[in-house]
Every structure is written in structure tokens, then in C-alpha cells.
């Protein structure tokens, strides 16, 4: 084997096979070492991965490998988020069964992932579509059902009136069904829910304990849970107006408000179209009934409801103002009032709420400001098109005049708590949450079946546990709209487990977010027959480091936190918080390329000419180069891992993904970047071999004393180990890479300073130590290269199993400085020099640097300027 070049194509598969054959990444639960659990969000098996998918796995892998070397029993598992709509779409479009499509994708993606050299325990691999996985999910569902944490209620869905089917939110495009193009309607359907709202306060409070989560994610969760403190206020219906319309037994309308201070600015009440009073009125008012139907057009997404034009219907009824019996306020039905928040009714104060203002302008209602901004003139202050929602002093508000907003809120609450309508206080303080119970019913085939049987006499009955799993029937068709399970007669018709009468299986399947809400608990057991093992969970959880995309900052993480609490309530686990550390990585972006005809081109179809120009290799025609964007199949700006592996080796890809940018930021994949990584990999290879050639043999005794040069190198080696350990611990991979670069320069300088055959024993020892330390430090980042070097150093075992190097603290005391090196005005490198180095010494060292030599290309520099303690400028 030649030593002047590292051959990744030969080395990488060889080491991967050895790791696999020796099973070194298999994790055991009875291992006595301290545990470390690191995992990345598992992938959806959509087809093939591109390098953009790889970044978080590589980051997790570096951490896993480092911790393993540092003596931890590391759990680093992988699985597949395998249920979901795309498999069903493939079935509809290409006639392939969702199961076949999914498992084929898993097989090819697994191969691709393995190509990245990830140190995963594949023995714990799971696929959520596998009955051995979802059987436990069905048990969990029944536990929740028994505890009333799972329940059924009527709820609105997106209904496609042409296909006669329920649509998922992502199947509603601009308010229309994705296949039929029909305007989607809202319909009520009985559906399953998980009672996440029971845990709202705890989910909120515990965010404060998650000190290793990004603040941004905690804030997003806080807003999503949306705790608000307000007042419920009863408005008495005025008998002086349309007494005949008021339904018997209805004396008042209850609203929820967070701004009771603005009560004197109220100019209307609005009811939700689903409010019971609306329903009662609509029964006798055709125009209102038609209005309610019109409100139901459009999807059920929050966005759809938010962006709809505000519409109202005047019922003719009026209510009496709670603080001024001489005033009445009209009652409308309005499309923007949701039935499932607060009380389903509001009072509108147009001067201080934009939505109310728009509504008031549309229907000609009065706008009375009651909060005066500081410094404004009460005689002149008016509200035109923009509501004022800031602080100020109350005016136009009788006994509240002169109070600040908070004081006025309190005064109104006190007053209304004392008043009564019938035997109810007219005001009641109330805490509300935006968080809704989690609707988990999906009218789809490719999901976990809900283990319930509906009986006419017994109602919904849980499938007896000894009859689980309820597996999906294989023989179904996808050639008609609707849920194939509804048509699977043989599967559907079963006797009631309680009374034996003919009954029907539930045909809803679970939201795929359920599948991902407990998979981290499943990973804990190494015994597949105990998929949720309390002891194993106690041992491994919480996950020490979870890594994934910011797009999951809300739902997935919140559902997982809820699930862990609900399982705790059912006695299935002891913990409450699943993830102690969370990291959200940035994406990998790439330029886009388009040919003349406007077709997207793959990067490998394009030759870059520099300065933003490029041509299509096949035809030579000009290519339009677009700015870097998230890698995506549709724009073809993707790079396949196997292509990188074949050309440069995956260690280069790994190095590049870690090197360029802070890990939380997006990183641009470029040809020059990957080439830089390649040069670096080759450089490590050369340095290690030069270190071997010039350094002491492995078993050479440690010299009693070290000279200045040897000590300087030893300091650099030990500093490398110490800083990289810290960088990885903090997930600052780009900084770790920068530290390795710095060290490579120091190592290179030391090598340049000695001559073969004349190396003093202290330097020989230091060179050997440097090579050993470098190899072990880069092992988590470029594991294949490191194994190859490790073998060259003469070690029998694997560096993947070697210990992290021990640092001598005495060598960490700083007496070197790092100088940045500019070549023609741009920063190109760094150099570490002794603090007391002379300008001449620094100059010599700089000229020996590889980056500088490459830039000079054999010529002498035009000029070299050393600014002591600051910077070195080279003019080439």
C-alpha cells in the first residue's frame, strides 16, 4: 500500500465491514459504564436521501463516537417514521402497495445511510409501520382510553364534496381538494382525541427546566400552549328587543375576554356560527341558517380561518351592557369567532382590537376609544383605521377613568364578581389555553389502526389486549376515493368483544405524530418482546442529546412531551421529560441550475466556470445559476451520498458538513468546499505518516526532559485534544474543525523543522504523540481515515474502540499565540507560534505553510508583513 495518498474508496467499505462484522456499535443495557443516549430525528422513508439529509446524522455520530471513546455506554439508534400519506399517494398514482413502497424505500435508504459510516446500533432499528412496533402503540392507546386520556368527540374535518372523502390539511390546496379541485367544506365527524390539555400547565411550567433546549424552541412551545388570563362576562339578553326570538331558558350570553378594561368601548357581541344560541336562532331564521352554511366553506386549517374575509350577521337581538344598564349592544354571528376557544362568544371593542375595528367599519358600528395613549389629548384622540392596543389611561369609562390598563382590568373583575345574573356571578376570572386536545383520527389506510370496536349497544369497546395487534388488512384497493379500510368488509365486521353482537371495527387510523411520540422509549429496550420496558426507560432516558430540524420545534416535541407524561400517568414510565438536550441543525443548501428550456439540472450535469457562470456539460449551452436553496428533489440541487463517496469518500463529506458553518446555521455545499475537505483528509494522512517516519516507535520510552520545540509541539497536541473535546460537547463542530486545522499547521511546522535520521529523542517522542493524538481526535469526524491511520501507527484494535487521549494539564498553560494569515488581503489560515517568537521566525514558519506555498506556486512572495501579536500579511 502506498503512503503518499489516502485511498478512501478502498478504505471506507473495508472499515465499514469490519465495524459491522465485529458488531462494535451494538449497545447492551447491562453494560456497567455510564450511559449516554444520543439520537437524531428519524427519517421518513420517502425514497432516496441526499447529502442534505445527512448533516444531523453526522453531527449525532460525532457526538456518539466521541462519547464512546470517552468511556460512555452510548446508545445511538435509528429507525423509520414509516406511516403516512406519500405511501398512499404512491399506491394511487403508481398502483404499488403502500407497504411494498415503504419497505423498498427503507431498504435503499438504509444502504445510503450506512454509506455515511454512522456508528448506529442497527439491532434496535424500528419501523413504525411494523406490527411489532405498533402493537405497543395500540396497547398504549388502550391505556389512554381506560384512563380517559383518549376519547371521542365531534369535530370538524376538511370534506371534499366531489370525492366524498376527508382530506388531510396538506391535501387542501388554496381551499380546494388536491385531486378533485372542489371547494373544500367543513364537516362534523366523530373523531378520537388525546387529552393533551390536561397537561397544558405542566407542559408550560416544565419548559423552564429544559435549560439545554434552544430558547427559540421553548418560546415557540410557550406561544403554542398560549396561556391567557382573562374574565368570563355574562351579558344579559335585553327583553326589550325581539323577545319572541330569545330561546326559552336563555337569559344571557357568556363571553371570554382578556381586556375587561375596554368594556365601556364595547359596540357589539359576536357569537360563533357553532354557538348553541346561533343554532337555536338559525332554526327559525333561514337567512341566518344560510349564513352559517356559508361560514363552513373553506378548510379547517387555522390559516384558512384566519385569512377568510370577516363576515357577520345581525341577529336583531341586543344585550344589556354589564356595567351600564342604560346601554344595549347588538348581537351578531361572526365567522371569525371559534366555538372551541373561550366561550365561543366575544364582545367587540373596535377602538382597541384590529379585527373588531375591521368588523365595525364593515357593519357601521360605533368606535369609542377608552384607552388613551400617554400624552394624547382626550378631546382629540380618535381611532380611524388602526386600532390602538397599547398601554394608556382609561377614559370614556365612568368609574374606570384615570386608571391604568391593569388596574382597570382588576376593577372590572372585582365589580362583576359581585354582580349576579340568577345565581351566577356576572364575572368570573378564567385561565384559558390556546392548546387544543390532539385530534389523532385520520381517515386513511397507511397508519396505525385504532384498536376499538363499535357496538350498537356497548358503544366503543377496546380490542382485548390478547387480540392485539389489530393489523392492517393487506388486500385493499386504492382505486376509489375514501378510506380503503371502510371497504374492507371482512376485516371490518367483527363480533363485539363485550356482548358478542355483530359490531364494526374503527376504521380511523392514528395520526403519524403518534408513532413518533414514543419511539425514543422503544429504543431503550434491547429486547423486542418488551417494546416499552419501564426499567430500560429508567436506565436510558431522558435522551441526553436529541438532534433534528427546527420544523419539529412545536408539534413533534410537544406531543412527545405530552406522551411521556400521559404514559407516566398510566404508570408505564417514571420520567416526564423525554429530551434533556435538544439541538436544531441548519440545512444544507446548494445553488440551483436551469437550462435554456427552463429545466432544472443536477449539479453533475453542469460545469462551473467560476464567477457565477456555468454550462451544461452535454450541450455546452449556458446555464442559469440560481442562489443557494434548501436541497430538494424537485429543484434537482441535490448531491447523492454515493456520488460523493465514489469521488472523494464519505469522510470528506462528513468533514465538509461539520467544517464550514456553525451547525445551527444553513451551510452551502460547494465543489470548492468538498475539494478543500479532500485536501485536508490527504493532509492528515501525510502528517500522520511523516510523524510515523520521523517519530519514535510506539514502544519508545518517554524522554526525561523535553526541549523548547518538542514542548511546543506537545502543547499543541494536548491543546488539540482538550479543545476538541469541549467543542464537541457543546456541538460546536465548526470550531472543532478549526482547531484541527490549527493543529495541523503546528504539526506541519514541527515536521518541517526536523531532518530524517537526526531527530532528537524528545522531538521523536513528541512527533509520535502528535500523530497518535491527531488520529484519535479526528476519529469521530473522519472515522475511516482514522482507522487507516490507526492501523498504520501499528495498533491492533480499532480506533473506534480506543480511549479518548489523556491530556496533561501542565501542557495546557498558554504560552503560544494564534496569528491569522492573510494572503492578498483575504484570511486563508492560522498559525500557532510561541509568544516570544521573532518576526523572522514567524516569517519562516509562515512561508513553510502549505496554504502559503500553494498560493505562491514556487515564486517568492512580493512582500510579507508581520504585525507582531496581531496578523501576518502575505502579498503573493
When CB distances are held under 5 to 8 angstroms depending on the partner's kind, the choice from ligand ANZ, Zn ion, none that residue 831 binds is: none
Which element (helix H / strand E) includes 359?
Answer: helix 354-363
The SS3 assignment for 340 reads coil
**568 lines the binding site for ligand ANZ (CB under 6 A):** no
Which of 388, 411, 431 minimizes the C-alpha distance to 265?
388
Using an 8 Å Cβ cutoff, are 733 and 658 in contact?
yes
- Contacts (Cβ under 8 Å, ≥6 apart) of 855: 823, 824, 828, 874, 876
98 versus 342: smaller Cβ distance to ligand ANZ: 342
- Region of 3-11, 184-192, 455-463, 662-670 interacting with Zn ion (CB under 5 A): 455-463
- Region of 63-71, 288-296, 330-338, 591-599 interacting with ligand ANZ (CB under 6 A): 330-338
Which of 809, 811, 791 minimizes the C-alpha distance to 800?
791
- Contacts (Cβ under 8 Å, ≥6 apart) of 183: 161, 175, 176, 297, 298
- Region of 46-54, 67-75, 250-258, 448-456 interacting with Zn ion (CB under 5 A): 448-456
**191 lines the binding site for ligand ANZ (CB under 6 A):** no
256 versus 446: smaller Cβ distance to ligand ANZ: 256
Using an 8 Å Cβ cutoff, are 182 and 176 in contact?
yes
Distance of CA 647 to the CA centre of its chain: 31
Which of 544, 539, 543, 577 minimizes the C-alpha distance to 558?
577
Cα angle at 573 between 529 and 38, to 5 degrees? 80
Using an 8 Å Cβ cutoff, are 607 and 651 in contact?
no
When CB distances are held under 5 to 8 angstroms depending on the partner's kind, the choice from ligand ANZ, Zn ion, none that residue 308 binds is: none
Any idea how long the chain is? 876
Q: Which three cell numbers stand for residue 5?
A: 495518498
- Residue 297's beta-bridge partner residues? 185
When CB distances are held under 5 to 8 angstroms depending on the partner's kind, the choice from Zn ion, ligand ANZ, none that residue 455 binds is: Zn ion
Which element (helix H / strand E) includes 762?
Answer: helix 761-778
**337 lines the binding site for ligand ANZ (CB under 6 A):** yes
- Residue 305's beta-bridge partner residues? none
When CB distances are held under 5 to 8 angstroms depending on the partner's kind, the choice from ligand ANZ, Zn ion, none that residue 352 binds is: ligand ANZ
Q: What is the 3-state secondary structure (H, E, C) of 520-565?
A: HHHCCCCCCCCCCCHHHHHHHCCECEEEECHHHCCHHHHHHHHHHH
**698 lines the binding site for Zn ion (CB under 5 A):** no
When CB distances are held under 5 to 8 angstroms depending on the partner's kind, the choice from Zn ion, ligand ANZ, none that residue 398 binds is: none
**845 lines the binding site for Zn ion (CB under 5 A):** no
Residue selected from 55, 65, 152, 352 as contacting ligand ANZ according to rule CB under 6 A: 352
Count of residues touching Zn ion (by CB under 5 A): 6
**346 lines the binding site for ligand ANZ (CB under 6 A):** yes
Residue selected from 455, 476, 567, 779 as contacting Zn ion according to rule CB under 5 A: 455
115 versus 496: smaller Cβ distance to Zn ion: 496
Using an 8 Å Cβ cutoff, are 203 and 565 in contact?
yes
Q: Which three cell numbers stand for residue 128?
A: 413504525
Whose cell is 358478542? That residue is: 500
**587 lines the binding site for ligand ANZ (CB under 6 A):** no
352 versus 654: smaller Cβ distance to ligand ANZ: 352
295 versus 453: smaller Cβ distance to Zn ion: 453
Q: What is the DSSP string of 78-89?
A: -EE---SHHHHH
69 versus 346: smaller Cβ distance to ligand ANZ: 346
**575 lines the binding site for Zn ion (CB under 5 A):** no
353 versus 508: smaller Cβ distance to ligand ANZ: 353
**569 lines the binding site for Zn ion (CB under 5 A):** no
Cα angle at 542 between 539 and 543, to 5 degrees? 105
Residue selected from 228, 430, 568, 661 as contacting ligand ANZ according to rule CB under 6 A: 228
**516 lines the binding site for ligand ANZ (CB under 6 A):** no
Q: Which three cell numbers stand for residue 359?
A: 368588523
Q: Which three cell numbers stand for residue 593?
A: 441550475
The site string for ligand ANZ over 254-273 (x = CB under 6 A, - otherwise) reads --xxxx--x-----------
Residue selected from 498, 689, 741, 795 as contacting Zn ion according to rule CB under 5 A: 498
Q: What is the 3-state secondary structure (H, E, C) of 325-376?
A: EEEEEEEEEECCCCCCCCCCEEEECHHHCHHHHHHHHHHCCCCCCCEECCCC
Question: What distance in Å separates the CA atoms of residue 519 and residue 511, rounded to the nearest whole number?
Answer: 14
**504 lines the binding site for Zn ion (CB under 5 A):** no
Residue selected from 349, 696, 778, 785 as contacting ligand ANZ according to rule CB under 6 A: 349
Q: Is the peptide bond before 110 cis (omega within 30 degrees of 0)?
A: no
When CB distances are held under 5 to 8 angstroms depending on the partner's kind, the choice from Zn ion, ligand ANZ, none that residue 396 binds is: none
When CB distances are held under 5 to 8 angstroms depending on the partner's kind, the choice from ligand ANZ, Zn ion, none that residue 498 binds is: Zn ion
Question: What distance in Å separates the CA atoms of residue 334 and residue 342, rounded to the nearest whole number?
Answer: 15
453 versus 606: smaller Cβ distance to Zn ion: 453
Whose cell is 430540524? That residue is: 549
CB of 472: closest distance to Zn ion in angstroms?
24
Question: What distance in Å separates the CA atoms of residue 349 and residue 369, rounded to the nearest whole number?
Answer: 8
**359 lines the binding site for ligand ANZ (CB under 6 A):** no
435 versus 532: smaller Cβ distance to ligand ANZ: 435
143 versus 353: smaller Cβ distance to ligand ANZ: 353
Question: What distance in Å separates the CA atoms of residue 273 and residue 296, rounded to the nearest whole number?
Answer: 9
Question: What distance in Å separates the CA atoms of residue 62 and residue 736, rounded to the nearest whole number?
Answer: 11
**218 lines the binding site for Zn ion (CB under 5 A):** no
342 versus 449: smaller Cβ distance to ligand ANZ: 342
165 versus 300: smaller Cβ distance to ligand ANZ: 300
Count of residues touching ligand ANZ (by CB under 6 A): 18
Question: What distance in Å separates the CA atoms of residue 329 and residue 802, rounded to the nearest whole number?
Answer: 78
* CA atoms within 13 Å, Cβ hemisphere of 851: 21
When CB distances are held under 5 to 8 angstroms depending on the partner's kind, the choice from ligand ANZ, Zn ion, none that residue 258 binds is: ligand ANZ
**632 lines the binding site for ligand ANZ (CB under 6 A):** no
What burial letters (b/e) apply to 797-823, b meaning 16+ CB within 10 Å? ebbbebebbebeeebeeeebbebebeb
499 versus 617: smaller Cβ distance to Zn ion: 499
- Region of 50-58, 190-198, 492-500, 857-865 interacting with Zn ion (CB under 5 A): 492-500
CB of 498: closest distance to Zn ion in angstroms?
4
- Residue 455's beta-bridge partner residues? 459
497 versus 703: smaller Cβ distance to Zn ion: 497
Q: Which three cell numbers stand for residue 557?
A: 416535541
**496 lines the binding site for Zn ion (CB under 5 A):** yes
Residue selected from 182, 311, 338, 569 as contacting ligand ANZ according to rule CB under 6 A: 338
Question: What distance in Å separates the CA atoms of residue 767 and residue 690, rounded to the nearest whole number?
Answer: 9
For residues 238-257, which are near ligand ANZ according to CB under 6 A? 256-257
Using an 8 Å Cβ cutoff, are 255 and 463 in contact?
no
When CB distances are held under 5 to 8 angstroms depending on the partner's kind, the choice from Zn ion, ligand ANZ, none that residue 499 binds is: Zn ion
**342 lines the binding site for ligand ANZ (CB under 6 A):** yes
When CB distances are held under 5 to 8 angstroms depending on the partner's kind, the choice from ligand ANZ, Zn ion, none that residue 747 binds is: none
Pure H helices in 48-184:
51-69, 85-94, 98-115, 131-146
The SS3 assignment for 656 reads helix
When CB distances are held under 5 to 8 angstroms depending on the partner's kind, the choice from Zn ion, ligand ANZ, none that residue 635 binds is: none
**353 lines the binding site for ligand ANZ (CB under 6 A):** yes
When CB distances are held under 5 to 8 angstroms depending on the partner's kind, the choice from ligand ANZ, Zn ion, none that residue 496 binds is: Zn ion
**566 lines the binding site for Zn ion (CB under 5 A):** no
169 versus 457: smaller Cβ distance to Zn ion: 457
Residues forming contacts to Zn ion in the complex (CB under 5 A) are 455, 457-458, 496, 498-499
Residues forming contacts to ligand ANZ in the complex (CB under 6 A) are 228, 256-259, 262, 336-338, 341-342, 344, 346-347, 349, 352-353, 432
Amino acid at each position: 500500500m502506498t503512503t503518499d495518498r489516502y485511498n478512501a474508496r478502498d478504505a471506507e467499505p473495508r472499515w465499514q465491514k469490519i465495524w459491522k462484522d465485529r458488531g462494535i456499535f451494538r449497545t447492551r443495557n447491562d453494560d456497567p459504564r455510564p450511559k449516554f443516549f444520543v439520537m437524531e430525528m428519524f427519517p421518513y422513508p420517502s425514497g432516496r436521501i441526499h447529502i442534505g439529509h445527512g448533516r444531523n446524522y453526522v453531527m449525532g455520530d460525532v457526538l456518539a463516537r466521541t462519547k464512546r471513546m470517552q468511556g460512555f455506554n452510548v446508545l445511538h439508534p435509528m429507525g423509520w417514521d414509516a406511516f403516512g400519506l406519500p405511501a398512499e399517494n404512491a399506491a394511487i398514482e403508481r398502483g404499488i402497495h403502500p407497504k411494498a413502497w415503504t419497505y423498498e424505500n427503507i431498504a435503499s435508504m438504509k444502504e445510503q445511510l450506512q454509506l455515511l459510516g454512522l456508528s448506529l446500533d442497527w439491532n434496535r432499528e424500528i419501523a413504525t409501520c411494523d406490527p411489532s412496533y405498533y402493537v405497543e402503540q395500540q396497547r398504549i392507546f388502550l391505556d389512554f382510553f381506560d384512563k380517559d386520556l383518549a376519547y371521542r368527540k365531534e369535530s370538524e374535518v376538511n370534506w371534499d364534496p366531489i370525492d366524498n372523502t376527508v382530506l388531510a390539511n396538506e391535501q387542501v390546496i388554496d381551499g380546494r381538494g388536491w385531486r378533485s379541485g372542489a371547494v373544500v367544506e367543513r364537516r362534523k365527524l366523530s373523531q378520537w382525541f388525546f387529552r393533551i390539555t390536561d397537561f397544558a400547565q405542566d407542559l408550560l411550567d416544565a419548559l423552564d427546566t429544559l435549560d439545554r433546549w434552544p430558547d427559540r424552541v421553548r418560546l415557540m412551545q410557550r406561544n403554542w400552549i398560549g396561556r391567557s388570563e382573562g374574565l368570563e362576562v355574562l351579558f344579559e339578553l335585553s327583553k326589550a328587543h325581539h323577545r319572541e326570538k330569545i330561546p326559552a331558558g336563555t337569559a344571557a350570553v357568556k363571553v371570554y375576554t382578556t381586556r375587561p378594561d375596554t368594556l365601556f368601548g364595547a359596540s357589539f357581541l359576536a357569537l360563533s356560527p357553532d354557538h348553541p344560541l346561533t343554532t337555536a336562532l338559525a332554526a327559525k331564521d333561514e337567512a341566518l341558517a344560510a349564513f352559517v352554511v356559508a361560514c363552513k366553506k373553506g378548510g379547517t386549517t387555522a390559516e384558512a380561518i384566519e385569512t377568510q374575509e370577516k363576515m357577520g350577521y345581525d341577529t336583531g337581538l341586543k344585550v344589556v351592557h354589564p356595567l351600564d344598564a342604560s346601554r344595549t349592544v347588538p348581537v351578531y354571528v361572526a365567522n371569525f369567532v371559534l366555538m372551541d376557544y373561550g366561550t365561543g362568544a366575544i364582545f367587540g371593542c373596535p377602538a382597541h382590537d384590529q379585527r373588531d375595528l375591521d368588523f365595525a367599519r364593515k357593519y357601521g358600528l360605533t368606535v369609542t376609544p377608552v384607552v388613551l395613549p400617554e400624552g394624547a389629548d382626550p378631546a382629540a384622540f380618535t381611532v380611524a383605521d388602526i386600532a390602538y392596543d397599547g398601554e394608556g389611561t382609561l377614559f370614556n369609562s365612568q368609574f374606570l377613568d384615570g386608571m391604568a390598563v391593569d388596574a382597570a382590568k382588576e376593577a372590572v373583575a372585582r365589580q362583576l364578581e359581585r354582580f349576579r345574573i340568577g345565581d351566577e356571578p356576572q364575572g368570573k376570572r378564567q385561565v384559558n389555553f390556546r392548546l387544543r386536545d390532539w385530534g389523532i383520527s385520520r381517515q386513511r389506510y397507511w397508519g396505525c389502526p385504532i384498536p376499538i370496536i363499535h357496538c350498537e349497544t356497548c358503544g366503543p369497546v377496546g380490542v382485548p389486549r390478547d387480540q392485539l395487534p389489530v393489523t392492517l388488512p393487506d388486500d385493499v384497493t386504492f382505486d376509489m376515493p375514501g378510506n380503503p379500510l371502510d371497504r374492507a368488509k371482512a376485516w371490518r365486521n367483527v363480533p363485539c368483544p363485550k356482548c358478542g353482537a355483530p359490531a364494526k371495527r374503527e376504521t380511523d387510523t392514528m395520526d403519524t405524530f403518534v408513532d413518533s411520540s414514543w419511539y425514543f422509549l422503544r429504543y431503550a429496550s434491547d429486547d423486542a418482546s418488551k417494546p416499552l420496558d419501564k426499567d430500560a426507560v429508567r436506565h436510558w432516558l431522558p435522551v441526553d442529546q436529541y438532534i433534528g430540524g427546527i420544523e419539529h420545534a412545536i408539534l413533534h416535541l410537544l406531543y412527545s412531551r405530552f406522551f411521556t407524561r400521559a404514559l407516566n400517568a398510566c404508570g408505564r414510565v417514571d420520567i416526564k421529560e423525554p429530551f434533556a438536550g435538544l439541538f436544531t441543525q441548519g440545512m444544507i443548501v446548494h445553488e440551483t441550475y436551469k437550462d435554456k428550456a427552463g429545466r432544472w439540472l443536477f449539479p453533475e450535469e453542469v460545469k462551473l466556470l467560476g464567477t457565477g457562470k456555468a454550462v451544461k456539460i452535454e450541450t455546452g449551452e449556458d446555464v442559469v445559476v440560481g442562489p443557494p436553496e434548501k436541497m430538494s428533489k424537485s429543484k434537482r440541487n441535490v448531491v447523492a451520498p454515493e456520488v460523493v463517496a465514489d469521488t472523494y469518500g464519505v469522510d470528506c463529506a462528513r468533514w465538509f458538513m461539520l467544517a464550514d458553518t456553525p451547525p445551527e446555521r444553513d451551510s452551502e455545499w460547494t465543489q470548492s468546499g468538498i475539494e478543500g475537505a479532500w485536501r485536508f483528509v490527504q493532509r492528515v494522512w501525510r502528517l500522520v505518516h511523516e510523524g510515523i517516519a520521523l517519530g519514535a516507535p510506539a514502544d519508545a520510552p518517554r524522554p526525561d526532559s523535553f526541549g523548547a520545540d518538542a514542548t511546543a509541539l506537545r502543547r499543541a497536541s494536548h491543546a488539540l485534544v482538550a479543545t476538541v473535546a469541549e467543542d464537541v460537547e457543546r456541538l460546536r463542530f465548526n470550531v472543532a474543525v478549526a482547531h484541527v486545522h490549527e493543529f495541523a499547521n503546528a504539526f506541519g511546522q514541527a515536521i518541517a523543522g526536523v531532518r530524517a535520521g537526526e531527530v532528537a529523542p524528545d522531538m521523536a517522542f513528541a512527533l509520535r504523540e502528535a500523530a497518535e493524538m491527531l488520529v484519535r481526535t479526528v476519529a469521530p469526524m473522519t472515522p475511516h481515515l482514522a482507522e487507516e491511520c490507526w492501523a498504520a501507527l501499528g495498533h491492533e484494535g480499532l480506533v473506534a474502540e480506543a480511549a479518548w487521549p489523556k491530556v496533561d494539564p501542565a501542557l495546557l498553560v498558554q504560552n503560544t499565540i494564534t496569528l491569522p494569515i492573510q494572503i492578498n488581503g483575504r484570511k486563508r489560515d492560522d498559525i500557532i507560534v510561541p509568544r516570544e517568537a521573532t518576526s523572522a521566525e514567524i516569517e519562516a514558519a509562515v512561508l513553510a505553510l502549505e496554504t502559503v506555498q500553494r498560493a505562491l506556486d514556487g515564486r517568492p512572495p512580493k512582500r510579507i508583513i508581520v504585525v507582531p501579536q496581531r496578523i501576518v500579511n502575505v502579498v503573493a
